[in-house]
Amino acid sequence: MSKINYLFLIILSFASIRMASGSDTKVPVKENKNVQDPVFQGILTTKVSLAGVDLSTITENIDYQKGDIQQQLAALYKSIPAQDFARMQSMMEKNPMLGMAMIMTPPQATIYIKDKVAMVKTKGLGYEIQHYHNEQSDEAFLYTASLIQPTEAVTSAYKPSDGYEELFTADKRISSQNFKVERSSNTADVAGYMCSIATYTPKALQQEAPSSLGMPAIQLHKLVVYTSKDLPKVINFSHPYYLPEDHGIMRIDIYLDNGNEPTMVYEIVSVKKTPVSDDMLIAKKTAPLYALTDIDYGMKLLGIMMGGMAAFGGEDDDDGMEEGEGESQG
């Protein structure tokens, strides 16, 4: 499958999710309001790997000012070890809708935290996101802009106190109503923090359930979740899944099949306790401010993503995407 087809599936699925998010089944995620968050100020770095491949080596190294984006992308794909690339490509071919998971979880992010205020900055292929979340003033802004045409940007707004039913689609809101939760007595170290471990498994798999637009849905088989009581749960809004955890989530192993290894791993790889200035927490916004479920917001997002797709190659341009193109390393 060509690069353009992969990206088209990713973008179409992303747009359909955003526009359908207001009409899906509302399964509330119950939280324990009595748990006191630790006071924390600092900077976190997160990464996402797909089939063991760190895709931030691609998204963080494209120079959009330089141009020649297709050539840069091809060279970056070739830097992935052949064995790793083949494993990732095989997984994508078995489940092309895995691209949806990729677009919803950009490979690297920086989270700035100052008590109850958080700012997340991240970027994917051709776009950037800044997500401001303030529980003190009860306001949040989600800003998305094109890295290819920076004047193309859109912002949505919501209130954290209203919950996250509109921010997370139904398949990303995990609750005890539809998942079994097993809490292990074991612990694990994540970025220097001792974490408790919980495993979430769906009570029933919807094998043939289509997503919006009739496209095949990604089936979640298991989540292994690592939490630390030393990090505030205010960070949990920024994760790929919203889970009813009382403490800060530091890692999520995501299993989209019955394999022994996770399909994707989302994790905090660095925690730096340091003063965070107000300048680091300034919300970037455009006008008008849209509701998350506004169809105009979904269409503007689609336009930003389509612009990125066009810049990354044409239908017959498969440079760097064919099996065996990655260079063997090690």
pLDDT digits (tens, 9 = 90+) for 259-306: 888 999 999 999 999 999 999 999 999 999 999 999 999 899 888 877
Cα–Cα distance for residue pair 303/318, rounded to 1 Å: 23
Q: Is residue 145 pLDDT above 80, yes or no? A: yes
Q: What is the pLDDT of residue 15?
A: 43
Q: What is the pLDDT of residue 295?
A: 93
> How large is the average pLDDT for residues 16-22?
42
pLDDT above 70 coverage of the chain, percent:
76
> How large is the average pLDDT for residues 15-41?
55
DSSP state of 129: E
pLDDT digits (tens, 9 = 90+) for 230-256: 999 999 999 989 998 999 999 999 998
293's CB contacts (< 8 A; 6+ apart) are 19, 21, 22, 23, 166
- Confidence category of residue 14, pLDDT binned at 50, 70, 90: very low
pTM (2 decimals)?
0.82
Cα–Cα distance for residue pair 88/68, rounded to 1 Å: 25
Q: Is residue 42 pLDDT above 50, yes or no? A: yes
Cα–Cα distance for residue pair 110/120, rounded to 1 Å: 6
Can you spell out the DSSP letters for 277-316? -GGGGPPP--SSEEPTT-HHHHHHHHHHHHHHHHHT--TT
Cα–Cα distance for residue pair 81/325, rounded to 1 Å: 9
pLDDT digits (tens, 9 = 90+) for 194-242: 999 999 999 987 554 444 444 555 788 999 999 999 999 999 999 989 9
Cα–Cα distance for residue pair 141/139, rounded to 1 Å: 7
- Confidence category of residue 34, pLDDT binned at 50, 70, 90: low
Q: What is the pLDDT of residue 223?
A: 97
Rounded (5°) CA angle 105-1-87: 60
Q: Where are the beta strands (DSSP E) in the chain?
A: 41-50, 53-54, 108-114, 117-123, 127-134, 139-146, 153-158, 179-190, 193-202, 222-228, 248-255, 264-273, 289-290
263 in Cβ contact with 256 (< 8 Å) = yes
